[in-house]
Amino acid sequence: MCAGTLDRAARAALDGVFDPELDQPITDLGFVRSVETTADGALTVRLRLPTSFCSPNFAYLMASDAKDALTALPQAREVVVLLDDHHDSELINRGLAADAGYRGTFGDEADEDLEALRRTFRRKAHAAAMERALTALLRENPELSEDELHGITLADLPETPTTWALRRRRETLGLSVAPAAEVLVDDDGLPYPSQEIPVRLRFARSVRLSIEGNAHFCRGLLRTRYPESAADQSPRVHDAGAASPAGSTGSSVKLRTTAGEVKPV
């Protein structure tokens, strides 16, 4: 097997690994420091973070997700993921090498459920994705008011990367992606009452701005700590590079006036 083939496959796999807090691919953020491969299928990836004191649970979650994505590659015979220059690098790297899991790595310090933390971040990412999709819809339809967003369904959204990203965020939470599913929903997929739509949209906007602001700050910190990382960072246009679903044209769809029923998943 050609080492270059494994290198390309590894980088493609890492494109699908997101920083849990910033909701951006670690490759776009510049968090992948290096990828080393051999002809016999050995793969070593080194990761880096903006500071040495980034939260250990976030750091472990990112590194663990990266190892899982790489281990799934059929070409990879051996996978090593290393986190560089973190105050818990030695502990995290030892745990990753032993496949010890979060609690096995941190022992008594692991005082929270990592899956619960992951779900919290996924809910925030979903809130931000909802806001992006609905704000884009309002901009494209000036006659539409915020109050009229009640009853807007996934079928009413244009087939754009923003909409596809929203569907993916819903899928990760187990929420309905049926065309009749309403867009602005709570964490359980239940639509908000019509009178709450403006305030819920503003709250989702605050979540989105917080995520994007943190990501911008972390990108800058990384470039300060590792000046060479600037070449590895990709300009962030949310999910603009996402592949179009089969059969979609990217054109807008006409707004429908009826709202579909949403059932909790």
pLDDT digits (tens, 9 = 90+) for 194-233: 999 999 999 999 999 999 999 999 999 999 999 999 999 9
DSSP E strand stretches across the chain? 32-37, 42-47, 78-83
Q: Which residue from 208, 218, 65 is spatially nearest to 125, judged by alpha carbons?
A: 208
What gap in Å lies between CA 186 and CA 200, rounded to an integer?
Answer: 9
* Residue 240 pLDDT: 41
Q: What six digits make up the tokens of 264?
A: 């909790």
In this prediction, residue 254 carries a pLDDT of 32
**Token digits of residue 72:** 């799934």
Instruction: Give the other-Cβ count within 10 Å of 37's Cβ.
Output: 22
Closest CA to 62 of 31, 107, 98: 31
Distance (Å, whole) CA 150 – CA 102? 41
How far, in Å, CA of 107 to CA of 186, rounded? 34
Token output for 209? 């701005």
142 burial via Cβ count (<10 Å: 0-12, 13-18, 19+): exposed
At 238-247, the pLDDT tens digits run 544 333 343 3
pTM, full prediction:
0.83
Q: How far is residue 199's CA from residue 27's CA, in Å, rounded to a whole number?
A: 34
